[in-house]
Structure 1
Amino acid sequence: MVPTGFLKNLHPIVFDAAVVDACRGGATFESLNPATEELICSCANAQAEDVDKAVAAARACFEGPNWGFKSTGAQRAACLRAMGKAIEDDKDAFARLESEDCGKPIKESVDDMDQAVEALRFYADLAENLGAEEPEEIAVPDDSFRTRVVREPIGVIGAITPWNYPLLMAVQKVAPALAAGCTVVLKPSELAPLTCARMATLAEAAGLPAGALNVLTGEGSPAGASLSAHRGVDKVSFTGSVPTGQKVMAAAAGGPAGVHLELGGKGAMIVFDDIEDIDATVDWICMGIFFNSGQVCSATSRLLLHSKIHDKVVAKILERAASVTVGGPLRADDKGAEGACMGPLVSGPQRDKVLGFISRAVDAGAKVLCGGGPPPDADAASTDRKPGKGYYVSPTVLTGVKETDEAWTAEIFGPVLCVRQFEEEDEALAAANNSEFGLAASVMSADKDRCERVARALRVGIVWQNCSQPAFIQAPWGGYKKSGFGRELGRWGLEAFLGVKQITSCAGSFSYEWYGK
């Protein structure tokens, strides 16, 4: 069950570390369980006035005596570790709430909570290291001057996060921003805001000063739009779709705010005929598209198979797809571990969007080898589903998709794998790079030199060799082209929230004497 004590007392808008019940005017929106289509709770729908209040609280904190460049790295690290400890201590409740809110299997939600805790601790360590840094001395050609460089927090951050990894992606922005000494106004997706709202209730107890972390639940308009365009925000960090990212960038362009965008993807996986373990390869293929019901920006949804192994690999993929349990996110699977192999999509509109892509692909000449729609109601009881309920789409494999077809070029964001054949390495590279997106890609081959050669030739920000989807807090994350710009995670995630300041001093009474003594 959802932790009802929290939901009965859900306070989804936080300012000044004091929690309030509702937004101005009392507007609300409903949070639905995507597995059952039932109401979980109503959330406050933040308005422009609420964004103003949150930004003002963040600004007051940043310019106050207890945060920003006036705080120490050790102080900020202690707050981040306390937040991590609080989430870890309440991990089961957080994970359960995440699964009910966005539909992912509970075992995936538990893993997300573990990664969120790891991120908070990782950036706590970086905060301490940052606090211990001495100014960097810069050699200049005039001995009369001494020049140093310091790094300092850039100010108030507007963070807008998606629904596919609700708490984890929020933490991946909040933790480095707080580690840098910035203050944050966080607007999680209205499709899955509940774990972020729960995190907000931990802020004060973790030692964060009033206004350091402000969480607004609300729809993209007006809440997200108002935050993107707010002149009191120094940088907007957005993760989501390309169309929304374009709107965020246009809104921020009216003022001095910096922008970081982590947008969509249409990743390719190139599989050569020299792979040594076909079963392991198929595992990675399925991981690349069916994990989190395909709702992953880095999903390797375009499969390029060498013609010599095409039929054998496709047959194995179909076997694996048929074995995927599509069921309720809190069910127990056949191995006794709590969790379904694949849960529902996050919402009815998202399910309908995915089914629309499949339907149009068939109209364009593609063949559906498996899936193509919701799972049959006949097996609903055994998979902890309610007949006719839930936003489910079965694992789907399409062949006969042309390189110019929408299904091959557009981000579907669902469990839909498109398969094409190739003969030569250059042909596969050209097809992989022929995309508006450039987030992630994978190459599978026993030839290490080939793997390295292909990795360097792929125009993406992330390349996996003989695997797909591993992500580590220590490594940079981001892409090229329409997949956005800037990097999250690792030390790059911290640097995104730091400004560089030059401090130059003049020795003694020296002057240029340009205007005389």
Structure 2
Amino acid sequence: MTIQSNGHSENPIKIPKIKFTKLFINGEFVDSISGKTFETIDPRNGEVIARVAEGDKADVDLAVKVAREAFDQGQWPRMTGFERGRIMMKFADLIDESIEELAAIDAIDAGKLFTSGKAVDIPSVANMIRYYAGAADKIHGQMLKMSRPFQAYTLREPIGVVGHIIPWNFPSTMFFMKVAPALAAGCTMIVKPAEQTPLSALYYAHLAKLAGIPDGVLNVVTGYGSTAGAAISSHMDIDMVSFTGSTEVGRLVMQAAAQSNLKPVSLELGGKSPLIIFNDADVDSAVNLALLGILYNKGEICVAGSRVYVQEGIYDEFVRKAAAKAKTWVVGDPFDPRSQQGPQVDKTQFDKILSYIEHGKREGATLLTGGKPCCEKGYYIEPTIFTDVKEDMLVVKDEIFGPVMSLMKFESVEEAIERANNTRYGLAAGIVTKDLNLANRVSRSIRAGIIWINCYFAFDNDCPYGGYKMSGFGRDNGLNSLDKYLQVKSVVTPIHNSPWL
């Protein structure tokens, strides 16, 4: 493993001044009602970036009130889809003009690689907005051929006020994965970004105002999950909640929604995704894919390929090459263009990952490589690979959400399928083989929401993904993700001179 000294890149990037730290409610940046603030921390060094307004139930109530008024009496739901789409296109253009600043904000707030944010994350969210902007004027109902003498059709109408609760691992991507289709549908909304990464969400609220999104349509309440997030989940005047995060918190969101006004929820939750590599795979390519699958975004991704199953014929070669490759992986400052892995998002996550590594060693797993903190300061962890692991070990069962791979050997196709499905999760899976028939057989047998064959992290605006089992329900991405932000209304009239008149 190669370590770059954090904070000393060859091409230093100017860290942007943080402009927005207050709640965004009804088109204005405002202090929290309580006046409280909280610190957001730079994971590169553990230092405070800024103090951000700490919203709670009172602030959520205020945000919901203005969102309710914007939905019940405002222009956004009543605009034509074309008009909404045009404003969303301008929103996307404004993001394009701020790519470098937004990528830098996510780098200092979430530890994300600046080069990746600039080249991939921020341009992708602008294109995501354009994707749904193009769908805004194509939301149609159906004419129904009734079996009785009635004329009928359906309308697809915005569901109302939506609460979005988003995680910290992809602050920009997750923001728009929720917000873009909800805007296209004509909803108004309250967004609660993760307390670890509130800064880019507030910046996007500023750009939304500049783009012409009416006041009250998009509100951002920063704060903690146990207060602001809980208030959104249980609010009687919120019509739907979309949540991405842990399975444990997802369960609480669902309970709160059920105990309040029975609002529908969409939950994209945890994962412990298998990557199955068969004997006919090119070993070098498979090693690269496996390391990408667990080390991308420092393992802080719900679909990470954290359980790697390698068929016995190539297992020993794979282990040798994976260890060698992991030792060359560059961990360091996210602004250094040579870095392949930045710091974990905060000390809590850093400590959690290290505790799982220690637990794996105590349970008898063999630490092939990594397993320790690195760099002089900040929350950096070495790429870590365990071998000699068993299915009942916590490192195999639990979502660690860090750069920790469990590497296992299998013999038969049937064994691989059985072990891949031996998890309470079902978010994603990967298959590496040159045999298309084998790939088709295995992909149909694994219970997961998205299967990647000879690739990984192949996301696209057109491709829906979400979970089976305890990985949740509902789908993000794709045109079908509009459905959760829409209601279907049937309108029926009798046909003239029918016996029903």
Contact 1:290 1:395 survives alignment (8 Å): yes
1:176 maps to: 181
Q: Is the 8 A contact 1:12 1:215 kept in 2?
A: no
The answer to whether structure 1 residue 39 and structure 2 residue 48 are counterparts is yes
Letter in 1 for 2:111: G
RMSD of equivalent CA atoms = 1.1
Q: Deviations over 1:345-402 (max 9, x none)?
A: 0010101100111101100100101100112xxxx4xxxxxx2x10111000001111
Aligned to 1:235: 240
Q: Which of these residues, 436, 453, 462, is aligned with residue 474 of structure 1?
A: 462
Q: Please tell me whether the aligned partners of residues 166 and 192 of structure 1 are also in contact (alpha carbons under 8 angstroms).
A: yes
Corresponding residue for 1:505? Answer: 493
Cross-structure match for 1:319: 324
Task: Supply the AA of the counterpart residue of 1:299.
Answer: A
Measure how far apart 1:511 and its partner are: 6.1
**Corresponding residue for residue 419 of structure 2:** 431
1:442 to 419, 430, 433: 430
TM-score (norm 2): 0.95
Match of 1:337 in 2: none
Could you tell me how far 1:318 is from its partner in structure 2?
1.1
Partners of 1:323 and 1:365 in 2: CA distance: 26
* Equivalent residue for 1:260, pick from 266, 271, 279: 266
Return the letter of the residue paired with 2:244: T
Q: Find the aligned partners of 1:103 and 1:76 in 2 and give their Cα distance.
A: 34
- Contact 1:488 1:496 survives alignment (8 Å): no
1:274-285 → structure 2 map (5 Å cutoff) = 274-275=280-281, 277-285=282-290
Mapped pair 1:269 → 2:268: no
Instruction: For residue 510 of structure 1, report the CA deviation from its aligned partner.
Output: 5.2
Q: Distance in 2 between matches of 1:2 and 1:127?
A: 36
Unaligned runs of 5+ in 1: 334-339, 381-386
Q: C-alpha distance in 1, partners of 2:337/2:277?
A: 33
Distance 1:197 1:151, change over 3 A: same
1:309 is matched with: 314
Is 2:69 the counterpart of 1:56?
A: no
Matched, 1:246 2:251: yes
Q: Which residue of 1 aligns with 2:336?
A: 331
Q: 1:463 aligns with which of 451, 460, 464?
A: 451
Aligned residue among 397, 400, 404 for 1:416 = 404
Residue matched to 1:349: 348
2:408 is equivalent to residue 399 of structure 1: no
Contact 1:31–1:192 (CA under 8 A) maintained in structure 2: yes
Q: Which residue of 2 aligns with 1:493?
A: 481
State the shift of 1:507 in Å. 2.9
**How many angstroms apart in 2 are the aligned matches of 1:448 and 1:507?**
54
* Higher alpha-carbon deviation: 186-195 or 76-85: 76-85
Instruction: Determine the C-alpha separation between the residues in 2 that align with 1:315 and 1:35.
Output: 31
Task: Describe the superposition over 1:469-512 as per-residue Cα deviations: whole angstroms up to 9, x where unpaired.
Answer: 11111100101000000101011211121111100012347564
Distance 1:480 1:240 in 2: 15
Of 27, 30, 34, the residue aligned with 2:39 is 30
How far the C-alpha of 1:46 sits from its partner, in A, is 0.2
The answer to whether the 8 A contact 2:244-2:269 is kept is yes
Whether the 8 Å contact between 2:163 and 2:232 is mirrored in structure 1 is yes
Q: Where does residue 383 of structure 1 map in the other structure?
A: none
The one of 55, 76, 79 aligned to 2:87: 79
**Equivalences for 1:76-115 in 2 at 5 Å?**
76-110=84-118, 111-115=120-124
Indicate the residue corresponding to 1:136 in structure 2. 142
| Structure 2 alignment gaps of length 5 or more | 1-13
Q: Does 1:13 align with 2:11?
A: no
- State the partner residue of 1:289: 294
Counterpart secondary structure, 1:308: helix
Partner of 1:195: 200
Number of equivalences:
486
**Contact 1:186 1:213 (C-alpha < 8 Å) held by counterparts:** yes
Question: How much has 1:65 moved relative to structure 2?
Answer: 3.9
| Letter of the 1:239 counterpart | T
SS in 2 for 1:129: coil
Write out per-residue CA displacement over residues 4-50 of structure 1, whole angstroms, 9 at most, x where no aligned residue. 1xx2x424311111221x10111111001001111100000101110
CA distance in 2, matches of 1:51, 1:220: 12
Distance 2:318 2:126 in 1: 38
Q: Aligned partners of 1:256, 1:508: CA distance in 2, in Å?
A: 39
CA shift at 1:256, angstroms? 2.6
> Which residue type is aligned with residue 193 of structure 2?
P
Q: Which amino acid aligns with 1:36?
A: N
The percent identity for this pair of structures is: 39
Deviates further, 70-79 or 503-512: 503-512
Conserved? CA contact 2:115–2:337, under 8 Å: no
The answer to whether the 8 Å contact 1:263/1:484 transfers is yes
Q: Secondary structure at the match of 1:357?
A: helix
Q: Structure 1 residue 274: deviation in Å?
A: 0.8
